[in-house]
Structure 1
């Protein structure tokens, strides 16, 4: 197989592929990799205690450090891990799980006080955590104002609970 779909529609358009000839590239004209990272930085700026867990197939196929290094320095400093960890889960088992199952298994393992997920894949999310998913459009990701509003509202609830 020459092309492998390896990234989601959050920090950039979903049409990202890896090939021997083109490396990692985006197929949608006019789009660039990680073009919406400034939006993420702006939304998280008032919340310095919010951490990031990478939930992307880039970790599975290219490695945690590689995936983390694609982020800005500011966002990299927030990253505390990834949903895929080969010390905890075998690749075969992980690949058989939906994105929602992967994220919820990570939450059960880490046990954060508060969390939410931003993802373009809403299939097979466990019922107990479905309301903690902010669903993005494959082509619009974080650039969609309605998604940004949802994220800001969720972050504001964190701030209230943290006493800020």
Structure 2
């Protein structure tokens, strides 16, 4: 629901030439409405955190920014600088563009990208169960018995992964399976053949995807990416039938595409193309560790 902002302050300069200036306009509008952050955010339909970030001059998703502006009855105009001068002068304001550009130049940093130290070189394989080590997805009945909706055997493709990993004893496994949501970790691991179980060093249990990624179906991709960056993993590969939109993850668009193998849930790692990807990755990381 839009917030009423009828009490306009004619002395306020409406020109926002950077995020802090825009944030100040939003905050001033909220204060004129005599609302605290929580009440204003609830009325607009965003979180208090989003509104606070905007008011503090921090970046948020574009759609959320426009939702806040619309909620406060504000509009954004994009026009040539000369026209902006005319508009601001009509409102009794002037803009010193030299000062504006100078302030932006002082604030600009040579490199604003966060630096992530990817220094953990141990080869790490993120492994799902359903649609990866067997065809189809698991169902647990009231007796605790696990069957697959495909009618196929559990872990029928596990021997393929065992064979591919055998020459590479250093490879570790992190489990990403949804079984972790309903079973204790030790039980989940116990279903694996010993050759794979002894490689398991961790799971993604308890890690939650960010809400927007859950909505668009790429939650598993988000969880794995956050885990890999959080642990500083340099050599990793994810085998999963639900790692969607990998091209949208990473520090640069497309950076992590080669780190994800999106599997056909009816084939899992029995797919020849998927096996080729795994073999190439194993050779590459083995060579990297030996150079």
Question: Under a length normalisation based on structure 2, what TM-score does the superposition of the two structures give?
Answer: 0.48
Segments of 5+ residues of structure 2 without an aligned counterpart are 1-127, 251-255
Matched, 1:146 2:268: no
Which residue is 2:231 aligned to? 110
Separation (CA, whole Å) in 2 of partners of 1:111 and 1:50 = 16
- CA-atom RMSD, angstroms? 2.5
- Displacement of 1:110 in angstroms is 1.8
Matched, 1:79 2:200: yes
Which residue is 1:131 aligned to? 258
- Displacement of 1:115 in angstroms is 0.6
2:275 match: secondary structure? helix
Which residue is 1:25 aligned to? 147
2:228 match: secondary structure? helix
Segments of 5+ residues of structure 1 without an aligned counterpart are 1-5
Question: Under a length normalisation based on structure 1, what TM-score does the superposition of the two structures give?
Answer: 0.83
Separation (CA, whole Å) in 1 of partners of 2:133 and 2:193 = 12
Contact 2:239/2:261 (CA < 8 Å) preserved in 1?
Answer: yes
Separation (CA, whole Å) in 1 of partners of 2:137 and 2:170 = 32
Which residue is 2:289 aligned to? 162
Picking from 134, 137, 149, the partner of 1:15 is: 137
- Displacement of 1:73 in angstroms is 1.0
In structure 2, do the counterparts of structure 1 residues 92 and 67 end up closer, same or farther at CA, with 3 Å as the change threshold? farther
Matched, 1:53 2:174: yes
- Displacement of 1:143 in angstroms is 0.9
In structure 2, do the counterparts of structure 1 residues 78 and 124 end up closer, same or farther at CA, with 3 Å as the change threshold? same
1:138 match: secondary structure? coil
Stretch deviating more after TM superposition (153-162 or 106-115) = 106-115
Aligned length: 154
Bigger strand share: 1
- Which of the pair has the greater relative contact order for Cα pairs under 8 Å at 6+ separation? 1
- Displacement of 1:159 in angstroms is 1.1
